Amino acid sequence: MPTSRSIDSWQQVDSRADFATYLRFLAVDCERACDVQDSEAPTAQHWTHPSVHGFLWGWVRLLGNRTDGTDLLYEEAPDRPGWRGLAHQLDTVRTTQPVLNWVLADSDTKHEEVDTAGDLRMYAATLATDFARDQREMRASTERGEWAGDGGSWAHNTLHDWLAAWAAWVGTDSPRHTRLDPVTWRTIALQLSVARIYE
């Protein structure tokens, strides 16, 4: 579902194709922010913590502040955030300071159990915990001199690669993808679940 439209703001998102384009913008922008940090130049102001772990914990914090969805998702009902509402969440998350929530860290929520913003919050915490575990296991294998293969259970270990994989999957046309409309908390969880393994 390619689009020639250039999208660099959540306000421009009206459809799944727009959202995929916006995710690609975020992936490139995040990579630039990481390059700035790696070069020891001043930290980019628009990414508080450009890592998968930090991004997910920032999302957990954001959803905890607005569990009914009314503040961020002003244009849609709480159970139907819409593509623009989801883009607005991601835009806000990139500047939200992540805070580890030990209560939610072991929630072990499955994507098919997500029905509300609160459920998505628990699922994002589950993913953040899983990502950290996966990274620890990969480092431990490497330190033991073991071949880690193509990686752990996460296909990507950088936020920009994860966002790019999410964009690639959500921008694809197939019967399964048509079921992503209308956007619900559950379909957002499905997108996150697939982005974790999509290459």
| Closest residue by Cα to residue 60 from 22, 104, 27 | 104
| Closest residue by Cα to residue 108 from 130, 92, 91 | 130
- Lowest mean pLDDT across 36-50, 118-132, 171-185: 36-50
What's the CA gap between 77 and 74, in Å, rounded? Answer: 8
On average, the pLDDT of the chain sits at: 82
- Lowest mean pLDDT across 14-23, 72-81, 153-162: 72-81
Percent helix / strand / coil, the chain, rounded to 5: 60, 0, 40
The mean pLDDT of 22-36, rounded to a whole number, is 89
With a cut of 80, say whether residue 18 has pLDDT above it.
Answer: yes
End-to-end C-alpha distance for the chain, whole angstroms:
17
Where does residue 94 rank: exposed (0-12), middle (13-18), buried (19+ CB within 10 A)?
buried
**Biggest alpha carbon distance in the chain?**
52
**Tens digit of each residue's pLDDT (9 = 90 or more) over 97-126:** 888 888 888 888 899 999 988 899 999 999
Q: Which residue has the tokens 């772990």?
A: 53
pLDDT score of 136:
86
The total of other beta-carbon atoms located within 10 Å of residue 138's CB is: 18
With a cut of 70, say whether residue 25 has pLDDT above it.
Answer: yes
What's the CA gap between 94 and 144, in Å, rounded? Answer: 35
What's the CA gap between 78 and 4, in Å, rounded? Answer: 31
pLDDT score of 36:
67
Where does residue 105 rank: exposed (0-12), middle (13-18), buried (19+ CB within 10 A)?
middle
pLDDT score of 152:
65
**Contact predicate 44/36, CB 8 Å:** yes
- Lowest mean pLDDT across 15-24, 81-90, 150-159: 150-159
